[in-house]
Amino acid sequence: MDKATFIGFLLGITTVVGAIVLGGDSAQFLYPPALLIVLGGTLAGTLIKFSLGQVGNSLKVAFMAFRLPSENPRDLIERSKEIANTARKNGLLALEDEVSPNDFYRKGLQMLVDGMDPDTVQRALHEELDHAWERHEIGQRVFRSIGEQAPAFGMIGTLVGLVQMLGNLENPEAVGPGMAVALLTTLYGAVFAQLVAIPIADNLEQRAESEYANHSLIMEAIGLIQQGTNARLLDEILGAYLPGRERRQEVPGEGREEGS
């Protein structure tokens, strides 16, 4: 589990709940009609904009926000160098028993073992990359939509509460519930949007970009391995995928044992 995401989510919930509890009677902040307007309205609006399958898949993708971050590019490069050495020494068929860093890498290596030509391998991996990006993009759109709609339905609830309150001014007992709906729907909508929906959408966007970069690195590594590129040259080429501060200086003589 990604500790930063979990700690941030837990800290946000604790801060809001703690402020409510310390402020006095916390029971008054739990009002089902207000919760129904925000959650029910947001869900309805989301289902109108997206298909049921897209919403369901987006909920599955959302769990990525709490998973460990994607592999470090440097780790992928080091593993690729090891695989390249194996392929040069024992042939591509020897890669069948290699432990791959992830499913995408495993699929690429399997295609090499199966003897597919380079163009077919790259085309298949590129299609897989595009499909993964599309899934992540839909997930981001769904949660950004939720982040937009929750506060909007909070405002709708506020208007409903004000109408109920103003329509019963002669009855003091009805003013309280109307005011509760008016205020709490805005609170629920804002908290749900700013603490859940929008952060998850941003998290998914960053993870999608990181995964896309890693998969692009893997695609190039697979192509280089298939060409029989030595580990030192592979390291130099794939080093372009690393941030500048992480690109290590090549030590003279390093990798010569692997390179030829």
pLDDT (tens place) for every residue of the chain, 260 residues total? 677 888 888 899 899 888 888 877 777 788 888 899 999 999 999 999 999 999 988 888 877 767 766 788 999 999 999 999 999 999 998 888 877 778 899 999 999 999 999 999 999 999 999 988 888 899 999 999 999 999 999 999 888 888 877 777 777 776 777 777 788 899 999 999 999 999 999 988 988 888 899 999 999 999 999 999 999 999 999 999 887 666 654 444 444 444 44
DSSP string, the chain: --HHHHHHHHHHHHHHHHHHHHTS-GGGG--HHHHHHHHHHHHHHHHHHS-HHHHHHHHHHHGGGGSPPPPPHHHHHHHHHHHHHHHHHH-GGGGGG---SSHHHHHHHHHHHTT--HHHHHHHHHHHHHHHHHHHHHHHHHHHHHHHHHHHHHHHHHHHHHHHHHTTTT-HHHHHHHHHHHHHHHHHHHHHIIIIIHHHHHHHHHHHHHHHHHHHHHHHHHHHHHHT--HHHHHHHHGGGS-GGG-PPPPTTTTHHHH-
**pLDDT for the residue 175:** 72
